[in-house]
């Protein structure tokens, strides 16, 4: 009996599967970094965590992630993005399993740090693969696709995680994520082609670090860097950490309700990223939309400090917050525009250090602030503590906006107008 050979997948089908695998691995990172907010009260109750420990628990991911960005970038250039990403995926799986099994706060924090190390390549490595695998004119679209679709991981860290934790427990839920990560890593082994350029002459480590120093001296680096530091720290401190406990302690929300409300905020942020994405072209400026979005975010945080919102209004508050704090694509474009081509990679990496380092600082410091105010007689964190948290986030963002207003604005439309 003759069997016709199966047709080989077309190039477009192969590309579709490759993009799906790379988006999926980054979605794991988005899930893990935002996964504490929904289950924070359950972790605190089960392991007797203070607010300082809870803040450190969540922020340990961002600290280790930020700390290795420069070495990771150099490793990708020397050994290729695929090899580097698969090596760190092993650390992600180990960290997730340790988190699921950890009997103490110290092991939970160590597991989160290990997760951060593991996920440190899951955004930059796919971008390098896209740059080498696809024509240059498709890079911007693939980057937007990578960022937008991977935010399903942020959504999964809200209501779906709450439902899974209620049904199976948070430990079983994280073991399932570890298994899923293994499956995605195996997809990458087979779907991502061998690293091209990994065997070419390597840039010396000394030369690589001299390039980092040059990037730090680029005009307006620091104003844009501090905006990166303050902006993402605001989002992950609210959606990824304290929004859930605030809803529980101040408004009496249960686990499922917390998950649903945070899902609203995360969904609004995804929609906001799509809406803000073209606003720089509308304004002909990077700075104007960032200043508008940042100012609106400060005002929304000030409302939580000054106005005792009833629960329905507290729920609705997360929608405009998610929409206005989502100006990060324009801020990222502003940062990229500052660097000459030979420094772009290291410049973007440094901005990413600001993003993740700011998340670490904001989450760890706000935990200390809540502990400073203390608990009520019922064992709940006091509303005054949460107001102190929201007020501090607003103050840091406001100071960063004032500094950012001095940055140069090299938007392409300005040069087009002059010519």
> Domain limits of the chain?
14-195, 218-411
pLDDT of residue 379 exceeding 90:
no
Share above pLDDT 70 across residues of the chain, in percent, rounded to a whole number? 89
Give the mean pLDDT of 103-122: 94
**Which pLDDT value is given to residue 322?**
93
- pLDDT band at residue 345, thresholds of 50, 70 and 90? low
- Give pTM, 2 decimals: 0.81
Flag the least confident range among 61-70, 114-123, 404-413.
404-413
**Best CATH choice for the domain 218-411 from the list 2.40.340.10, 3.30.1700.10, 1.10.3470.10, 1.20.1250.20:** 1.20.1250.20
Q: 53: closest CA among 233, 231, 245, 260?
A: 245
pLDDT(400) > 80: yes
The percent of the chain in helix, strand and coil, each rounded to the nearest 5, is 80, 0, 20
Beta bridge partners of 137: none
At 205 the pLDDT is: 66
> Could you tell me how many helices (H) and strands (E) the chain has, helices first?
22, 0
Q: Would you say residue 178 has pLDDT above 90? A: yes
Can you tell me the distance from the alpha carbon of 313 to that of 325, in angstroms, rounded to the nearest whole number?
A: 18
Give the C-alpha separation, 212 to 346, whole Å: 6
pLDDT band at 182 (very low <50, low <70, confident <90, very high): very high
- When mean pLDDT is compared across 18-22, 206-210, 242-246, the lowest value belongs to 206-210
Task: Give the range among 174-178, 351-355, 415-419 with minimum mean pLDDT.
Answer: 415-419
Residue 155: which residues within 8 A CB-CB, separation 6 or more? 263, 266, 267, 270
337-341 mean pLDDT: 79
pLDDT at 197 over 60: no
* pLDDT score, position 290: 92
Question: Residue 255 is encoded by which pair of tokens?
Answer: 């686990």
Statement: residue 6 has pLDDT above 90: no
Please name the fold of domain 14-195. Answer: Growth Hormone; Chain: A; (1.20.1250)
For the record, the structure tokens of 107 come out as 């092991």
What pLDDT score does 140 carry? 55
Cβ 294 vs Cβ 321: under 8 Å: no
Q: Is 218-411 the same fold as 14-195?
A: yes
**Whether the predicted pLDDT of 395 surpasses 90:** yes
């Amino acid at each position: 009996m003759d069997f016709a050979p199966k047709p080989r997948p077309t190039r477009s089908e192969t590309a579709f599967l490759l993009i799906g695998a790379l988006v999926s691995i980054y979605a794991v990172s988005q899930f893990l970094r935002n996964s504490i907010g929904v289950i924070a009260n359950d972790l605190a109750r089960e392991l007797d965590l203070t607010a300082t420990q809870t803040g450190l628990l969540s922020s340990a991911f961002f600290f280790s992630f930020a700390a290795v960005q420069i070495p990771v970038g150099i490793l990708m250039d020397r050994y290729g993005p695929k090899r580097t990403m698969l090596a760190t995926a092993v650390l992600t799986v180990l960290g997730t399993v340790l988190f699921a099994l950890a009997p103490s706060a110290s092991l939970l924090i160590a597991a989160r740090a290990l997760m951060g190390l593991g996920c440190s390549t899951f955004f930059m490595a796919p971008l390098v693969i896209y740059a080498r695998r696809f024509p240059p004119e498709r890079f911007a679209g693939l980057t937007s696709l990578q960022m937008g679709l991977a935010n399903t991981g942020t959504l999964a860290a809200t209501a779906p995680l709450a439902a899974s934790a209620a049904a199976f427990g948070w430990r079983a839920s994280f073991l399932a994520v570890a298994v899923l990560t293994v499956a995605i890593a195996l997809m990458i082994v087979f779907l991502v082609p061998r690293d091209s350029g990994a065997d070419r002459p390597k840039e010396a480590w000394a030369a690589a670090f001299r390039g980092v120093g040059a990037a730090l001296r680029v005009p307006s680096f620091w104003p844009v860097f501090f905006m990166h530091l303050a902006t993402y720290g605001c989002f992950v401190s609210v959606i990824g950490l304290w929004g859930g406990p605030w809803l529980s302690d101040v408004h009496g929300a249960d686990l499922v309700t917390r998950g649903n409300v945070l899902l609203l905020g995360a969904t609004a942020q995804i929609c906001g990223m799509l809406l803000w994405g073209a606003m720089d072209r509308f304004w002909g400026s990077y700075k104007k939309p960032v200043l508008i979005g940042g100012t609106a975010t400060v005002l929304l945080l000030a409302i939580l400090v000054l106005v005792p919102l009833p629960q329905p209004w507290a729920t609705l508050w997360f929608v405009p917050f998610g929409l206005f704090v989502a100006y990060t694509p324009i801020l990222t474009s502003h940062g990229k525009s500052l660097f000459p081509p030979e420094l772009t990679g290291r410049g973007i990496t440094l901005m990413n250090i600001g993003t993740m380092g700011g998340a670490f600082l904001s989450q760890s410091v706000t935990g200390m602030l809540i502990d400073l105010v203390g608990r009520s007689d019922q064992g709940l964190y006091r509303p005054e503590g949460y107001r102190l948290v929201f007020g501090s986030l607003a103050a840091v963002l406001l100071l960063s906006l004032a500094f950012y207003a001095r940055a140069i604005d090299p938007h392409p439309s300005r040069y087009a107008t002059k010519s």
